[in-house]
Each structure stands twice: as structure tokens, then as C-alpha cells.
Amino acid sequence: MDTSNPAVFVNAELLRLYVGPRVRAVIQVLRSDGGVVTGQSTDDNQILVKGSPPSPLSKFVEVVGIADSEKSIHAEIWTNFGDTFETHTYNQLCQLANGEFKHLFL
């Protein structure tokens, strides 16, 4: 069992705090060109995701990777989350998982 490489739940605001370690975020795909996907985070800010997205890409995608800047993630794993997703719920989860209940996750 291994807890050495956790991925932190982030939205755009939390991404700023976690540049460097592994993060995970769910984004709504706005644009996809080349190897860069522009997405809207669960707190309605834009995030760039670099990597090789799967095709077809569904409306919501979870990406797990390394945050290489305050606004972008270099994704290693892409998971299509479908076309319906509760962004508000996920956003609240990000806040809880990094706040009061951080010890359950990291």
C-alpha cells in the first residue's frame, strides 16, 4: 500500500497553491487544439491542460497530473467524465478536501 503520491483535488483557485505536486481536477472542455485543452474549472476560471487527450473528449474531463504553473496542468491521466457533472458539488469537495478535512486525503 502506498500513500506517497497522492493527487490533490483542485479547482483553479487551489491550483495556484499546488504548483509542483500531483493534482487532479475536473474541467469542462471549452477548446481543444493541438496538445492543449482549454477548460473551465469547477470554480469558473480557465485552466490550460497539456498532454494528449483521448478522443473523443466528453464535455467534462478529469485530469490527473503535475501543475506546471498557476493556471496549467501537465496531465498524465485523462478520464472522460461524461456530459453531465455536478461542478458545484465537486467544487465544494475541493474546498473541503484541502481545508478542514485535509487529513483524510493527504
Binding site residues, another protein, CB under 8 A: 1-9, 24, 26, 60, 62, 64, 77, 79, 81-82, 84-86, 88-90, 92-93, 96-97, 100-101, 103-106
Query: How many whole angstroms separate alpha carbon 51 and alpha carbon 29?
Result: 14
Between 33 and 83, whose beta carbon lies closer to another protein?
A: 83
Question: Looking at residue 38, what DSSP letter applies?
Answer: E
- Go through 10-36 and write b for each residue having 16 or more CB atoms within 10 A of its CB, e for each that does not: bbbbbbeebeeebbbbbbbbeeeeeee
Between 34 and 99, whose beta carbon lies closer to another protein?
A: 99
Between 48 and 97, whose beta carbon lies closer to another protein?
A: 97
Between 34 and 84, whose beta carbon lies closer to another protein?
A: 84
CB 104 → another protein: shortest distance, Å?
Answer: 6
Query: How many whole angstroms separate alpha carbon 13 and alpha carbon 83?
Result: 23
CB 11 → another protein: shortest distance, Å?
Answer: 12
CB 3 → another protein: shortest distance, Å?
Answer: 3
23 touches 73 (CB < 8 A): yes
